Structure 1
Amino acid sequence: MGRTRIAALLCGTALLTTGLTTGIATGATTGVQAAGPATAVRSGVHVPGTAAAATRAGAPAPAEPPPCVNSPLPYSGQAADVVRIAEQARKQLDLAAVLLRVTVDGKELVTAGLGESMAGVPAAPAQHFRAGSVADAVMGTALLRLVDEGRVRLDDPVSRWLPDLPHAHRITLRMLASSTSGLVDYATDPAFLAAREDDPFRQWTSEELVARATSRPLLYPPGANWSRSRANSVILGSALERITGTRLDVLLRQRVLDPLGMRETRSAATPEIPSPVLHAYTSQDESYEDSTYWNPSWTTAPGAVLTTDICDLARSAAGIGSGKLLSSRSRAQLLDPGTVGLGGPTSTCSASVCLKNTKATHYGAGVLVLDDWVLQNPSFSGYSAVQAYLPADRLAVAVATTEGRRTPGGNTAELVMGRLAEVLAPGRAPAPAVSGAGALGPDRPGVG
């Protein structure tokens, strides 16, 4: 099993949305544009005055970020190459929209919106979209900050805070963050898939999601293998709330989002997305639908269901990938919490589920490490995105895409990012993200 498979398992949505996302074209049905900011989970949109407290000791609060807009024309040099390649990929992959931002050492190289959000509405960098598994990277960093403060240890059993959870005495915080608990992934259960297909607007509770995972036997003894399970994220979110006594949405803002200047990244209790909105489309039952407001409550823990814009996604790539909020010891744990060398098929876990983690391609504490890149790659309900950071070059690449009628399956943002990386870091593009949809393949059973 190669690096393509582990990256694929982490991100795609093709099987979860039944038909591969094949989205928008002129004349497709469109949804109603969100009128204003999303209603935050338990009212926790923004906590004034927390940025300074959340940064590492002695560090000043970050300045208010500038507006997220297209870079000034005309593009030149590498910026022109990036936009040209992205536009070529948009046309070749029949993408409705591509949003991108590239920064080097925190300085903007280029920001651009290409294509359309809806028919007649140009795609723009300030438009918000769903962040999916970026929340795993945020939660992993929040956990490691608590480790740095001596509040917890990675090897503490979850039973300290969630004593009634099945297997809690055997599952540790490390296992939840690194997806090595052995819990079944409820999102690949046929009954769950059918329920989502029947009603994509359904509001799921964390209790429902965890029950679906814990009602089935563990795939392997906790810590003995690796497999993607969204139950890990849901349970980790609950544990973080119990550890700190703070709502998860507020905790993530205090510990990660505000310190990284991610003002446009929000958590909501409803499927609403703050305006302006990047619309997503998907095909299901042979029809093209606006999937923008399909309910994402099943994807992760309440309070970590995030929306963002492309500028914040680039900030997340650089801030989390560099480990700037962490001690050197915790950054090492972020990149390898013991997963390198772990994993592989067993008699109770197939080769498509239990995957081998290698030094070149492995999962960390909420991040995916591909060669020298640190990334996350969400893809579900018509949205695809990737945040990627190359530490040696201090290079951050953020891409978000929505799909057209003839878009191939897989995470198309990752495909675009791979083509950009070939220009931005010649010879060092992450292996799964290379030109051509076939590189990622259609067998991507999951969501980011």
Structure 2
Amino acid sequence: MLLAAALLLGACTAPAGAATQATGAPSPQAEAVAKIVRDGMTAGSLRAAVFKVTKGDQVITSQAFGESLDGVPATTAMRFRNGAVAFAYLGTLLLLFTEEGKAKLDDPVERWMPALPEAGKVTLKMLANQTSGYPDFETDPAWNAAFNADPFQSWTFEERMKYAFSRPVQFPPGSNWSYAHTNFMILGEILAKIGGKPLDVLLREKVLGPMGLRETVANNTGAIPEPVLHSFSSERRQALGVPAGTGFYEEATFWNADWGTPNGASQTTTIDDMARTAIAVGEGTLLSEASYRAMTDPNLLGFGHPQDNCKPSCFTQVEGYNYGLGVVRSGGWLLQNPLLGGYSATEAFLPAEKVGISVAVTYLPGAFDCQGNYPNASDLLFRQIAAHMTPDHAPPMPAPFQKAVC
């Protein structure tokens, strides 16, 4: 709403959640952040790193290092895939609908999709906080084989549900926690039914626009608007039967990522929009205080347990990782940290100190192990930057970068 008013008035004020760029010589903090990123690029075999750090209404630093393509420097204007960042937008949209009285978090999904398994017991809240028990189609071997055979193909909602429910529900609804893309596929379909419009339109009108996100757009193909931060990957190595001693590194930029988000929420973005997202979600600028607390409080801390039929995606929610409604808590930080198609991107915000950190990276061949696995390098860089920026609120730190060795 503030954005709309500013546009109507022709005002020079920034949209809600924006930060103003610092001028002059780089500050010691900016130089320290740049060193952390450069060191991380060397240690983690990163091709490019684009990052932005804000504190309050000030931009501490916004830079891009490395190359998009050979001979083409990465820039802060380049677009990349944001994956699960869209889940935070879905959580926001769900809560906006609850505030409008159009739905309740405890409404069972049978109200909109009565044919789903356990439809009378699974609630909207369970979809948003990953406690439904629904299997993740992404872990289905048949789905993985189909994706690896053609990563450019598009996936309908019905196709994804067929793979998901080729296996039984993993646990009684609400009795455990397990990360499943299936939950958000279903939530996206239901939100479109509640709002009476396509999901991409609802997100633009009610979430992305009011947050001031001008460059975050949805596409049901692998297309990315120019300028593009190109990505490369070795993750299909095993699926294609490439021997461990043989080099394998392919461009993954235009793989279709619509499988990972609901129809209408497969998005590309920029580092500026990631930074705006971190602030807007982290401060709950579109939500009431009660909705913000429901979305971001550590309500699942200590909940969940490992279980044979859903490991490793089911585990006890701990301080370093516990799930809200479309957002992750790590210590005092609120974040999303997708990893897909050779892209790693993290947006995070610390409400206690109003610090936002957004990082997007791509990879060199040395980042991939002999099976084609690779680390979430943007997440580690965020944590290293956060430890410098907010030493009293540093997020839990995983193991440092290690070179992949075959």
Note closer, same or farther for the CA distance 1:70–1:335 as it changes in structure 2 (3 Å cut): closer
> How far apart, CA to CA, are the structure 1 residues paired with 2:179 and 2:17?
36
- Which residue of the partner structure matches residue 317 of structure 1? 278
The answer to whether the Cα contact below 8 Å between 1:419 and 1:434 also exists between their aligned partners in 2 is no
Q: What displacement does 1:76 show? A: 2.4
Counterpart check, 1:345 vs 2:306: yes
SS of equivalent to 1:109: strand
Q: What displacement does 1:228 show? A: 0.6
Counterpart check, 1:95 vs 2:46: yes
> How far apart, CA to CA, are the structure 1 residues paired with 2:329 and 2:168?
29
Q: Kindly, what percent of the aligned residue pairs are identical? A: 41
Name whichever of 161-170 and 415-424 sits farther off: 161-170
Counterpart check, 1:384 vs 2:344: yes
| Counterpart selection for 1:288 from 243, 249, 270 | 249
Q: What displacement does 1:324 show? A: 1.5
- Which residue of the partner structure matches residue 330 of structure 1? 291
Letter in 1 for 2:343: Y
Counterpart check, 1:417 vs 2:382: yes
- Which residue of the partner structure matches residue 244 of structure 2? none
Q: What displacement does 1:209 show? A: 0.5
- Which residue of the partner structure matches residue 241 of structure 2? none
| Counterpart selection for 1:176 from 127, 138, 142 | 127
> How far apart, CA to CA, are the structure 2 residues paired with 1:198 and 1:410?
23
Letter in 2 for 1:425: T
> How far apart, CA to CA, are the structure 2 residues paired with 1:121 and 1:380?
22
Name whichever of 424-433 and 130-139 sits farther off: 424-433
The answer to whether the Cα contact below 8 Å between 1:68 and 1:125 also exists between their aligned partners in 2 is no
RMSD (CA atoms):
2.7
The answer to whether the Cα contact below 8 Å between 1:69 and 1:111 also exists between their aligned partners in 2 is no
Q: What displacement does 1:233 show? A: 0.8
SS of equivalent to 1:387: strand
Q: What displacement does 1:360 show? A: 5.2
- Which residue of the partner structure matches residue 222 of structure 1? 173
Counterpart check, 1:208 vs 2:159: yes
> How far apart, CA to CA, are the structure 1 residues paired with 2:301 and 2:45?
37
> How far apart, CA to CA, are the structure 1 residues paired with 2:22 and 2:257?
31
Name whichever of 69-78 and 341-350 sits farther off: 69-78
Note closer, same or farther for the CA distance 1:342–1:110 as it changes in structure 2 (3 Å cut): same
Q: What displacement does 1:353 show? A: 2.6
Counterpart check, 1:365 vs 2:325: yes
| Counterpart selection for 2:30 from 72, 75, 79 | 79
- Which residue of the partner structure matches residue 428 of structure 1? 393
- Which residue of the partner structure matches residue 147 of structure 1? 98
Count of aligned pairs: 385
- Which residue of the partner structure matches residue 113 of structure 1? 64
> How far apart, CA to CA, are the structure 2 residues paired with 1:369 and 1:249?
26
> How far apart, CA to CA, are the structure 1 residues paired with 2:107 and 2:181?
20
Name whichever of 385-394 and 357-366 sits farther off: 357-366
> How far apart, CA to CA, are the structure 2 residues paired with 1:66 and 1:359?
26
Letter in 1 for 2:318: T
Superposition pairs for residues 187-206 of structure 1, below 5 Å?
187-206=138-157
What do the CA deviations read for 1:125-175 (whole angstroms, capped 9, x no partner)? 110000000011110011111112222110001111122223222211001
Note closer, same or farther for the CA distance 1:145–1:226 as it changes in structure 2 (3 Å cut): same
Note closer, same or farther for the CA distance 1:275–1:117 as it changes in structure 2 (3 Å cut): same
Q: What displacement does 1:218 show? A: 0.6
SS of equivalent to 1:392: coil
- Which residue of the partner structure matches residue 334 of structure 2? 374
SS of equivalent to 1:85: helix
> How far apart, CA to CA, are the structure 1 residues paired with 2:96 and 2:189?
17
- Which residue of the partner structure matches residue 26 of structure 1? none
SS of equivalent to 2:329: strand
TM-score (norm 2): 0.89
The answer to whether the Cα contact below 8 Å between 1:369 and 1:375 also exists between their aligned partners in 2 is yes
Letter in 2 for 1:320: V
Letter in 2 for 1:259: P
What do the CA deviations read for 1:29-59 (whole angstroms, capped 9, x no partner)? xxxxxxxxxxxxxxxxxxxx99649xxxxxx
Could you tell me which runs of 5 or more consecutive residues in structure 2 were left unpaired when the two chains were aligned.
6-10, 238-246, 369-373
Counterpart check, 1:399 vs 2:359: yes
TM-score (norm 1): 0.81
| Counterpart selection for 1:273 from 194, 212, 224 | 224
> How far apart, CA to CA, are the structure 2 residues paired with 1:231 and 1:61?
42
Q: What displacement does 1:123 show? A: 0.5
Name whichever of 117-126 and 144-153 sits farther off: 144-153
Note closer, same or farther for the CA distance 1:199–1:387 as it changes in structure 2 (3 Å cut): same
SS of equivalent to 1:287: coil
Higher relative contact order (CA 8 A, sep 6+): 1
Letter in 2 for 1:416: L
Counterpart check, 1:231 vs 2:166: no
The answer to whether the Cα contact below 8 Å between 1:182 and 1:222 also exists between their aligned partners in 2 is yes
Could you tell me which runs of 5 or more consecutive residues in structure 1 were left unpaired when the two chains were aligned.
1-48, 54-59, 443-448
Letter in 2 for 1:264: E
